[in-house]
Amino acid sequence: MLVLKQAFSRGDSLAVKGIAVMMLLFHHLYSALERFDSYPVSFFPFAQDDVVAVALMFKNCVSLFAFISGYGLLKSIASIPLNRRSVLIWNITRLLKLLSGFWFIYALVFVVSLCLDGLPIKTYFESSSVAGFCYLLNDFFGLANFFDTPTMNSTWWYMSAAILYVLLVPLLYLFVRRIGYLPVLAATAALPRLLNSDYPGGMDPYSFLLSILFGMLFAQYDVFGRIERRFPADNPRGYLLHFVVWGALVVLAYQISRNYGHTEAWELNLGVLPLAFLCFFRFCVIRIPGLRQVLRFLGRHSMTIFLIHTFIQFTYLEDFVYSFKNFALIFLVLLALSLAFSILLDGLRKLCRYDRLIDALLHRITKKLAA
């Protein structure tokens, strides 16, 4: 067991999640011309192509979420004995915590959309009732992307990835303890090329496996803490140094993304270059008083916003969202609506004491397994 330092605290991770979820909304709004070309959207004072390029680059928001997952999962798995029973209890605990949040949202979306337009019926039961029930179960357990079955929301593909990462991290941790991070990172980056495979895909968990590994590495070796101790950012000169260095690397990441794209150089754009964004956010952005608290608040709602915003943007309120015409205002409207629905859902969870129910269930399961 390891006791790891925390130079990247839970508050820091929440703040970065707050930034990442805003990047996600911007990406989904403007990364493809067909999403907005039927609406009179103004990009003044910027060129449309520049905004689209930034939105495309913001695909790396998923890399940020994956990095944070890898960071947190490593700290958690490193704190327990690596025997079968402990790892089994750890896996079940992490998966139940992950899925319980999704199940609550799924149930509400199912009921509301069924009443509005019969979306679950259209999604699952077009072929047969037996197949439809299987599709429903796959989606409910976050496995639709694994089995390529219908889903009520394409953004829910990340649930399959998150489940896979929980199951993989104990194995990856064993590998890196034996052979180190460099061979595992190199093999992960090289394998698709060696197999003559192209970009794994924007909804393929493999595309973000490098970020999981980098998150684990940063947690195990306290990389943020080492940088902070070597180059303190709590004084004007140190802060300026961080701002210039990491800001320059973010600009470089933008240029690489614009010239090559994440489909051509996915290892760079979705694996390595997001580290520049993470360091810029960690040492520069989330240190700003006031802004830090706002970002933390957004971060607490990031999972719910991730899971519901496409219902607002595409399924039910697309015309309303894009009716605001200015690209920045459209983004703010989508963010405000997504956050408002997330706060409402959070209130409903507390009202029905859902988290207490999950905690009691988790306690009973782990108690039986530990006996």
- Range with lowest mean pLDDT among 64-78, 128-142, 250-264, 269-283: 250-264
- 143 located within any domain: yes
Predicted pLDDT of residue 1? 56
Distance, CA of 367 to CA of 371 (rounded, Å): 6
Q: Can you give the residue range of the structural domain that contains 351?
A: 10-370
- 14 located within any domain: yes
- 62 located within any domain: yes
Long-range contacts of 325-329 (CB under 8 A, 24+ apart): 325/39, 325/40, 325/41, 325/42, 326/41, 326/42, 326/44, 327/29, 327/30, 327/41, 327/42, 327/43, 327/46, 327/51
Q: Are 52 and 33 in contact (CB under 8 A)?
A: yes
Give the mean pLDDT of 63-82. Answer: 95
The model's pTM: 0.95
Distance, CA of 36 to CA of 336 (rounded, Å): 19
Q: What is the mean pLDDT of the chain?
A: 93
Burial 9-22 (b: 16+ CB within 10 A, else e): eeebbbbbbbbbbb
Give the mean pLDDT of 237-263. Answer: 91
Confidence class for position 127, pLDDT limits 50, 70, 90? confident
C-alpha separations of 62 from 17, 102, 171, 212, 318 in Å: 10, 17, 22, 11, 23
Residue 262, pLDDT > 90, answer no
- 1 located within any domain: no
- Write out the two tokens for 56: 């495309």
Predicted pLDDT of residue 129? 87
Tokens 């009520």 sit on residue: 152
Residue 244, pLDDT > 70, answer yes
Q: For the CA atoms of the chain, what is the radius of gyration?
A: 21
- What are the tens digits of pLDDT across the range 31-62? 999 999 999 999 999 999 999 999 999 999 99
> H/E element holding 364?
helix 354-370
Q: Are 12 and 282 in contact (CB under 8 A)?
A: yes
- 354 located within any domain: yes
Predicted pLDDT of residue 4? 59
Q: Are 136 and 56 in contact (CB under 8 A)?
A: no
What residues does 42 pair with on adjacent strands?
Answer: 326
- 2 located within any domain: no
What residues does 326 pair with on adjacent strands?
Answer: 42
Q: Are 139 and 149 in contact (CB under 8 A)?
A: yes
Predicted pLDDT of residue 106? 97
Predicted pLDDT of residue 229? 92
Predicted pLDDT of residue 305? 98
Give the mean pLDDT of 321-339. Answer: 97
- 3 located within any domain: no
- Write out the two tokens for 290: 């006031």
Amino acid at position 230, single letter = R
Amino acid at position 38, single letter = S
Give the mean pLDDT of 276-298. Answer: 96
- 79 located within any domain: yes
